[in-house]
Structure 1
């Protein structure tokens, strides 16, 4: 497996699990991941939000962690990356107003590179105009935007060519597994020896 360079788009109040779990999991299997945000320098942080599902009509939002950014999105060349991750949370509603974000997203679709988006992340894809004729999912409250962008809606995790989408962080196991498949990542599940075993 060749290690990939992966770009992850973040911003204040990105969903905590949806930015941190992919960042850590993709690095764990050997990929290089750079988290970027508009107008943010290397080492600065964005605030995350935790969206918890407790049986209400929508999620409960609480303050999460400070998440370190590797570079400003304006300072990276998307051509240097093999894949893109677009987390959800509240960040996508304003990230989609940045030309640098939309241009970056368009690059990955025009070059047919792997893209994983979850929860509210497809709001950015819709704004970038890359969902026309696709099949995807998102947080259910975003369904109207996804369909309005010319996309067919599916419940659950879906892979459509280079695009892998999920509805929220509870989809992580299936969503990340599907993204690893699109990336061509194989994982050797051979058990490591346990101390004391002969």
Structure 2
């Protein structure tokens, strides 16, 4: 049976870090729900390849309605982490012990949510020190799985491994 996956996304997302995991999850039978500030809004990737319709407002999104969370990278996570509603959603998701998938700059939302303490994780090299200050044990590897809950990767080159490990946690 397919799982329902929340995706926190806004303009300037890294296109392939959204499109490729979403494609893999849908092909595996999972449902995707794009969440931003305004339902019905259209957001665009930083390269213009991803055009995303928002399915749900963050004001109506509840962690208990989802089985997993995807946080694609690009500038999107940095924009979203300035809004406490997204930060709280991520914190609540981590606290719920449900699967969370964050790639590239995606862990910025986890940093702001103070949800990386004691976790083994990776992310884009420019946020490594931030992740370490947040209490993460940083590993420079294509994919890192922590506590059978958190899947992180560094760059678009890591997407095949990221998708593989994410899909394992969705089984």
1:43-192 to 2 correspondences below 5 Å: 44-50=41-47, 63-156=48-141, 157-161=143-147, 162-184=149-171
The secondary structure found in structure 2 opposite 1:33 is strand
Q: How many residues align?
A: 169
Cα deviation for residue 64 of structure 1 reads 3.7
Structure-1 residue corresponding to 2:20: 21
Partners of 2:131 and 2:52 lie apart in 1 by 28
Partners of 1:145 and 1:109 lie apart in 2 by 18
Q: Which has the larger radius of gyration?
A: 1
Cα deviation for residue 66 of structure 1 reads 2.4
Partners of 1:168 and 1:72 lie apart in 2 by 28
Aligned residues: CA RMSD: 1.1
Partners of 1:8 and 1:65 lie apart in 2 by 14
Cα deviation for residue 3 of structure 1 reads 1.3
Contact kept, 8 Å, 2:19 with 2:50, in 1: the verdict is: no
Whether 2:27 is the aligned partner of 1:41: answer no
Q: Which runs of no fewer than 5 residues in structure 1 stay unpaired?
A: 51-62, 185-198
Q: Which runs of no fewer than 5 residues in structure 2 stay unpaired?
A: none
Task: Encode CA deviations 1:45-92: one digit per residue, 9 max, x unaligned.
Answer: 112113xxxxxxxxxxxx444222112122221210010000000111
Task: Encode CA deviations 1:3-54: one digit per residue, 9 max, x unaligned.
Answer: 111101101101111111112221111011101112x222x2112113xxxx
